[in-house]
């Protein structure tokens, strides 16, 4: 297949690392889902050992030597596009992994662990001062890390690029400006609308047994293959696996079936991405999702664009009633579709609806940007947070536990990561624009319970191609346009004004 034996060898090494990562995935899944509780210490040793083994492989000098020989090889230009892309992706990871000195990586990990312990106490006591010094140190460490990765780059740009390849402040500034200007008035008008949804239609006692049946039914509807996956219970829903074995977990709330129902659709969205990458890419760098934000996008496509679509419920409500028996017998389509799309500003990001969620992210982006540009001090963070919450969502934060301390991310130094959480929905809206052109009847099909053509479109355009393209390139290829948030604004404006009868 290639005249470069070093390429073959490099891909063999990559396959070994992939196998180790997949094994780690099984250990982790078992830990969360199956392991008896006394096994924790033993399993921690196994997981730590595997991490060390994987890291050792990732920074192996052998990879560096092979990469060099491949690039200098006289037949390099004969490599196919896919082969060159594989080399590029391995190079990118290898350089990143080897630029960080081992001692520094250890210091960062150690401080993350200590810092997280203090963050827990600080959050429990709603006292930012307990966490303040750790946070200040973490910010310095992350600036140092950014300098290792790219001494000439702007530190926050380096971190943004680290979490979603190709991104920087310039791009985020543009899309968040688009999002903010569109969403702020929309949210305002929805929140003050007279026609508010009626929660009581969904907040009815629904046994776990019934919710489990629903989860299996809706998973099958979107073609999740249980011969290549499983649905189990875990404290926090997640998806893990590779190609032919991708498992999801969900959690149940007897008083709110929407938790497990939409978590199922969300996680199945993740699983379908993994299961539908071109099988010939298996064990190659291109045999992975484009990016974590694109992954999140695919999950939300199933959850929001399908699952919270009134057109889907035109078909599914009858099935839903059949499975749930007497519980939702009296429920009508319109108020039900409205209730599952309720927009209500909340203090806590993870409780936010798909619309106000963006504002939580924009707040964090602006905070991080100012912080890394030294325009904001650590001590100013709590008040900065609280003022923005008031400004964007009209919410008054009463203590730091529900403000700056709400997420664990900063304790781990994950600056530049939150912004990626907004991308998935924006990617989706831009893709949807094209899907509508290619498949004008897509919602009519949903109304009839037909999903195949929509899944085919996603497979062809997004899932199958794996990591052949970086996220911004993929957006451009599929839509012919540069990445923008304007279609997201357009989509939610249409959807929600209709739902709210404005």
CB 343 within 8 Å of CB 188: no
Binding track, positions 233-272, relative to a copy of itself; x by CB under 8 A: ---------xxxx-x-------------------------
**Which residues ranging from 4 to 23 are in contact with a copy of itself (CB under 8 A)?**
16, 19-20, 22-23
- For residue 63, the minimal CB distance to a copy of itself (Å) is 18
Q: Left (φ > 0), alpha (ψ -120 to 50) or beta: where does 396 sit?
A: beta
| Residue 267 a catalytic site member | yes
Nearer to a copy of itself, 242 or 392 (CB): 242
Does 220 engage in binding with a copy of itself (CB under 8 A)? Answer: no
472-495 burial, b if ≥16 CB within 10 A, otherwise e?
A: bebbeebbeeebbbbbbbebbbeb
Binding-site size for a copy of itself (CB under 8 A) equals 32
As measured in angstroms, the least distance from the Cβ of 8 to a copy of itself is: 17
195 binds a copy of itself per the rule CB under 8 A? no
Contact 182, 355 (CB under 8 A): no
Burial environment of residue 72 by CB neighbours within 10 A (0 to 12, 13 to 18, 19 or more): exposed
Using the rule CB under 8 A, which residue among 228, 311, 331, 455 binds a copy of itself?
A: 228
CB of residue 100 to a copy of itself, shortest distance in Å: 24
Catalytic residue among 46, 56, 164, 267: 267
User: Which one, 268 or 395, has the nearer CB to a copy of itself?
Assistant: 268
- Per CB under 8 A, the list member of 57, 143, 204, 230 interacting with a copy of itself is 230
To the nearest whole angstrom, how small is the minimum distance from the Cβ of residue 212 to a copy of itself?
A: 17
Binding of a copy of itself at residue 30 (CB under 8 A)? yes
Q: Which is nearer to a copy of itself, 118 or 230 (CB)?
A: 230
Q: What are the Cα distances from residue 310, in Å, to 223, 340, 395?
A: 20, 9, 29
CB of 22 to a copy of itself, least distance (A): 6
Distance between first and last Cα of the chain: 60
Minimal distance, residue 455 CB to a copy of itself, in Å? 18
Using the rule CB under 8 A, which residue among 109, 213, 226, 348 binds a copy of itself?
Answer: 226
Question: Could you tell me which residues come within 8 angstroms of residue 493 by beta carbon, excluding any fewer than 6 positions away?
Answer: 182, 186
Nearest CA-CA partner of 106 in 147, 151, 48: 48
Identify residues 50-69 at the interface with a copy of itself (CB under 8 A): 50
3-state secondary structure 260-278: HHHHHHHHHHHHHHHHCCC
CA dihedral of 232, 349, 502, 182, whole degrees rounded to 10: -120
Residue 210 interacting with a copy of itself (CB under 8 A): no
233 forms beta bridges with 250
Q: Which stretch binds a copy of itself (CB under 8 A): 34-42, 315-323, 427-435, 470-478?
A: 34-42
Backbone Cα Rg of the chain: 23
Cβ-contact 20, 57 below 8 angstroms: yes
> With binding defined as CB under 8 A, does residue 227 bind a copy of itself?
yes
Q: Taking a C-beta distance cutoff of 8 angstroms, is the pair 421, 170 a contact?
A: no
Binding residues (CB under 8 A) for a copy of itself: these are: 16, 19-20, 22-23, 26-27, 30, 34-39, 41-43, 45-46, 49-50, 225-230, 242-245, 247
């Amino acid at each position: 297949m290639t005249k470069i034996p070093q390429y073959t060898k490099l891909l063999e090494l990559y396959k070994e690392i992939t196998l180790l990562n997949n094994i780690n995935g099984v250990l982790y899944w078992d830990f969360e889902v199956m392991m008896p509780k006394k096994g924790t210490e033993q399993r921690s040793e196994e997981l730590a050992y595997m991490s060390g083994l994987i890291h050792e492989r990732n920074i192996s000098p052998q990879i560096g030597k092979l990469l060099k020989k491949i690039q200098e090889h006289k037949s390099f230009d004969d490599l196919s596009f896919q082969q060159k892309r594989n080399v590029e992706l391995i190079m990118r990871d290898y350089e990143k992994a080897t630029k960080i000195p081992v001692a520094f990586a250890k210091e960062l990990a150690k401080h993350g662990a200590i810092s997280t312990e203090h963050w827990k106490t600080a959050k429990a006591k709603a006292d930012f001062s307990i966490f303040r010094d750790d946070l200040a140190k973490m910010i310095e460490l992350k600036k140092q890390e950014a300098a290792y990765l790219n001494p000439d780059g702007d530190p926050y740009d380096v971190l943004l690029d680290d979490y979603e390849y190709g991104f920087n402040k310039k791009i985020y500034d543009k899309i968040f400006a688009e999002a903010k200007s569109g969403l702020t008035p929309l949210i305002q008008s929805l929140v003050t609308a007279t026609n508010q949804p009626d929660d009581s239609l969904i907040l009815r006692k629904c046994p776990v047994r019934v919710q489990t049946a629903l989860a299996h039914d809706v998973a099958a509807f979107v073609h999740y293959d249980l011969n290549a996956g499983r649905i189990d219970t875990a404290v926090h829903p997640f998806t893990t696996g590779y190609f032919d074995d991708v498992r999801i977990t969900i959690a149940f709330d007897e008083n709110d079936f929407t938790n497990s129902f939409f978590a199922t659709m969300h996680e199945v969205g993740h699983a379908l991405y993994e299961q539908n990458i071109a099988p010939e890419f298996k064990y190659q760098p291109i045999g992975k999702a484009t990016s974590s934000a694109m992954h999140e996008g695919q999950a939300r496509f199933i959850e929001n664009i399908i699952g919270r679509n009134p057109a889907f419920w035109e078909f599914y409500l009858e099935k839903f009633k059949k499975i749930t028996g007497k519980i939702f017998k009296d429920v009508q389509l319109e108020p039900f579709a409205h209730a599952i799309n309720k927009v209500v500003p909340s203090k806590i990001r993870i409780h936010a609806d798909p619309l106000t969620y963006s504002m939580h992210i924009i707040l964090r982006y602006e905070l991080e940007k100012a912080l890394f540009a030294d325009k904001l001090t650590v001590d100013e963070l709590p008040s900065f947070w609280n003022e923005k919450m008031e400004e964007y969502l009209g919410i008054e934060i009463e203590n730091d536990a529900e403000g700056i301390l709400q997420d664990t991310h900063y304790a781990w130094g994950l600056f530049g990561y939150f912004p990626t959480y907004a991308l998935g929905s924006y990617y989706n809206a831009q893709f949807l624009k094209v899907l509508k052109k290619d498949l004008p009847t897509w919602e009519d099909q949903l109304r009839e319970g037909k999903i195949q053509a929509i899944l085919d479109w996603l497979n062809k355009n997004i899932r199958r191609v794996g990591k052949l393209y970086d996220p911004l390139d993929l957006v451009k290829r599929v839509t012919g346009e540069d990445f923008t948030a304007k279609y997201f604004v357009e989509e939610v404006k249409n959807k929600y004004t209709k739902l709210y009868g404005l």
